[in-house]
Amino acid sequence: MEKNKNEVRIIFHIDMNAYFCSVAEILDPSLKGKAFAIGREGTTKGVLSTASYEARKYGIHSAMPTIEAYHKLPSLLVIHLDYQHYIDYHYKFVNLIKEYTNIIQVASIDEVYADMTLISKTRHPLDVAKEIQERLVKEYQLKCSIGIAPTLFLAKMASDIKKPLGITVIRIREIKDILYKLSVKDIYGIGKKTYPRLIDSGIKTIGDFMNPDNRFKVIDLVGENTFVYAYNALTGNSTNIVDPDKYSVSKSISEMRTYDRPITSVDECMLEIRKLSRSVFNRLIDEKYYYKTVNITLRDTQFKTITRQKTLDEYSQDPYLFNDLIYELISDNFKDLEYRLIGCGLSNLIKEDQIEEEYNLFTYLDIDQKKKNIDKIIKEFQSKYGKNALYIKNDKN
């Protein structure tokens, strides 16, 4: 669907602040004001899903190995919550926003785009934004930042400027005043490998990036297609269409097996889950998806079934991380019971082309390099765990 250039739309990007930690604080108010992180309790293994603002002051962040976080802050609290709690609060805040518009595009469990053009004809958008913020805090104890702009890209940029509980408006005529002074690393979607190259070459701010005198230097660093897309997005020439159906299909990949002889030991369960995970990861690569959520299913001989999940802050195709998270989930949840069904899977998936569009909007060079690295990672994994650890259909070696 093409953008109607003659219509100025009012787009909100509503981004929940430290969402996973906020939900944890709601369920356990004693955590408020403390440095804590979401991860695996009682061990130094694994990685953190996210960290509270207090913990971030010590340099602790999402995807950080737990042992590294403890080195930075030995008193860090690491807690684990059932993922269902996050889903429940997701629906609460999305349903609240639906009271203002039905044109909503869910970007992830803790952020949405909303087209507020219609309601803004009778109410000032700032009043609407403030009311949404106040209601989320009052009704659900959830804090959010809201960006308001005529395009999705600019609304996302705006919501990142003031956290927590910020409201930022970016009009086309205000882009230079608001954005040009920011670092190039603040451009939505820029890769962690791309912005250091720019900064090292003297392209330190968005203003430097957009400076016509630096055009060819930037093109040399990020490529012409990348530069053209970034330039257009940063001048307001990107989509203003909020598409409620964009992520309406919740794709998942899973494998389960029922056993005639019950599984009674965690070691045996690990062996079986490893076999299932090979098939799951093979399908992920074959269908060109990235994953964000890893899950396991266990059913005992009394037909009691549990499903446990762990969600990352960023999408991944890393087999090491997948393997680590599955083993964490099994270790945390395997009890002294007899199990007749075991399963594992990946959900919250996104296609490679959507990764390029939504998460690396103009880092095509990084995407190409990342794809090359995937084969290398898989081969390293097979070298460590055996040739059949991850059987990839198209592997010619």
Instruction: List the helix and strand counts (H, then E) for the chain.
Output: 15, 13
CA dist 103 and 242 (Å) reads 7
Sole residue written with tokens 């990764």: 355
**DSSP one-letter string for 179-194:** HTTSBGGGSTT--TTH
Q: How far is CA 324 from CA 52, 55, 88, 320, 381, in A?
A: 23, 23, 26, 6, 12
Name the residues annotated as catalytic.
111
Q: How far is CA 112 from CA 45, 145, 258, 294, 328, in A?
A: 32, 11, 39, 22, 30
Sole residue written with tokens 């395997």: 334
**164 φ, ψ to 5°?**
-85, 170
Phi/psi-derived region of residue 344, left when phi > 0, alpha when psi is between -120 and 50, beta in every other case: beta
